[in-house]
């Protein structure tokens, strides 16, 4: 059993979204909502929030859906920016994903055009620090990045590390980083890894005391793609970042425009 306790808020609500830029994005996007009351957390919702539509429809629907959830913070599993030299070369905004998303929409009509303009993939400082497996415009990631930025172009809340007010806040997260923090192997997706997902869920409950219904536990383990579990890990990352006051990001990643991946932190001793 892990002795590490996750730093989480005593009150409030956090949403985690496992994102997709696929043609049938509505089938792949999962969302988890965790509610905290008197220091006790509970998974209150685990679902696919979009019933139809491709990547564009889902991107246009994300902001309104998040705004309707009444959460203080949302953790989104996609890249909020590009590597600094790419931003500079293309003359893109460095003030966060809302303006960057608008610029990307105006300049690039498709994810493929976006990838071609950005050029060879490069990792950001935060990608290297978190050992992120892919750069923002990797062949497996560029659609997710493009449509994620398009989704945030209308976001009016805070986006740490660029801004922390007004709420609600949206933060970039990496679910696999939570798995690493828990001390477990990062390979947990696929039909042969039910036991790995069960181990992750057990370790999450040990480190958080999170209350999860039996039916949601079954979904989290049986979803072979790991998308439902990633949504829960995204919510916990966002909640921990919020509890810590969005600490950890160096000022340099704000100046460069690269942004920061937020993850869970250990609860400080009282």
The pairing of beta strand 30-37 with beta strand 12-18: antiparallel
What are the C-alpha distances in Å from 225 to residues 4, 120, 201, 214? 27, 28, 15, 19
Q: How far apart are CA 68 and CA 57, in angstroms?
A: 17
Six token digits for residue 133: 């497996």
First to last CA, the chain: 21
Six token digits for residue 98: 């809302």
Six token digits for residue 62: 């994300």
Q: Three-state SS for 205?
A: helix
The pairing of beta strand 261-262 with beta strand 169-173: parallel
Element (H, E) at 20: none
pTM of the full predicted structure? 0.96
What are the C-alpha distances in Å from 165 to residues 41, 156, 161, 245? 24, 10, 10, 11
Q: What is the pLDDT of residues 83-117, one digit of tens each?
A: 999 999 999 999 999 999 999 999 999 999 999 99
Residue 1, pLDDT score = 45
Radius of gyration of the chain (CA): 17
Residue listed under structure tokens 């001793």? 269
The low-confidence residues of the chain, meaning pLDDT below 70, are 1-3, 270
Q: What is the pLDDT of residues 224-258, one digit of tens each?
A: 999 999 999 999 999 999 999 999 999 999 999 99
Residue 53, pLDDT score = 84
């Amino acid at each position: 059993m892990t002795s590490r306790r996750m730093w989480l808020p005593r009150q409030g609500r956090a949403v985690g979204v496992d994102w997709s830029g696929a043609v049938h994005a509505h089938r792949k996007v999962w969302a988890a909502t965790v509610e905290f009351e008197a220091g006790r957390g509970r998974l209150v919702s685990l679902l696919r929030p979009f019933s139809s539509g491709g990547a564009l429809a889902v991107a246009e629907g994300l902001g309104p859906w998040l705004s309707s959830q009444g959460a203080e913070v949302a953790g989104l599993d996609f890249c909020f920016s590009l590597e600094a030299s790419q931003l500079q070369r293309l003359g893109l905004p460095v003030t966060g994903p809302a303006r960057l998303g608008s610029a990307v929409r105006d300049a690039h009509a498709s994810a493929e055009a976006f990838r071609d303009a950005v050029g060879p993939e490069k990792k950001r400082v935060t990608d290297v620090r978190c050992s992120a497996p892919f750069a923002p415009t990797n062949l497996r990631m560029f659609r997710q990045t493009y449509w994620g930025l398009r989704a945030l172009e209308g976001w009016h809340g805070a986006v740490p590390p660029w801004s922390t007010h007004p709420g609600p806040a949206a933060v970039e997260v990496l679910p696999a980083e939570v798995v690493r923090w828990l001390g477990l192997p990062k390979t947990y997706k696929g039909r042969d890894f039910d036991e790995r997902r069960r181990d992750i869920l057990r370790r999450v409950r040990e480190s958080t005391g999170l209350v999860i219904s039996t039916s949601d536990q079954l979904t989290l383990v049986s979803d072979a793609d790991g998308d439902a579990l990633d949504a829960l890990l995204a919510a916990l990352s966002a909640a921990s970042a919020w509890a810590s006051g969005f600490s950890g990001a160096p000022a340099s990643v704000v100046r460069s425009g690269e942004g920061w991946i937020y993850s869970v932190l250990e609860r400080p001793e009282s």
